[in-house]
Copies of this chain bind each other. A is one copy, B any other.
């Protein structure tokens, strides 16, 4: 038996890019605007991302098609961090709840709209096929 801790998983930016489907430049940009700051750096100056960092980047990736500005995404992420920190009954906690609530509403509506657009786009694809056979 050993007291050795399992090594915490850390990912370099290239691997994070592969895992999330985001470009390296996009990941760096998200750091520039304060969206996802890598939880550590190597002895050199390489960014090292934790599994949680990667999960957050995945979420951002899936939300991209909904077209929220990065500034708004940052507001949302901060609100969620506040809630996760268990400060629900503080005034910051209440504000955070309100932010998340509003965001949830807008998001649900945009998902609905996006689905409609996709359906139309698909109809257009069928039209393309028809013309090819036409």
B-binding residues in A (CB < 8 A) = 58-59, 61-66, 80, 83-84, 88, 97, 100-101, 103-104, 107-108, 111, 114-115, 117-118, 120-122, 124-125, 128-129, 131-132, 134
Majority secondary structure of chain A interface residues (helix, strand, loop or mixed) = helix
Complex contacts, A103 vs chain B, CB 8 Å: 128
Q: Given that A100-B128, A125-B108, A128-B100 are contacting pairs, would A117 and B83 also be in contact in the complex, using a CB cutoff of 8 Å?
A: no
On whether the beta carbons of B104 and A132 are closer than 8 Å, the reply is yes
Say how far A107's CB is from chain B's closest CB, in angstroms.
5
* Listed A/B pairs (28) with beta-carbon separation below 8 Å: A59-B120, A61-B117, A62-B118, A62-B120, A62-B121, A63-B121, A63-B124, A65-B65, A65-B114, A65-B121, A66-B121, A80-B128, A80-B131, A84-B131, A100-B132, A101-B132, A104-B125, A104-B129, A104-B132, A107-B121, A107-B124, A107-B128, A111-B118, A111-B125, A114-B114, A114-B118, A115-B115, A118-B118
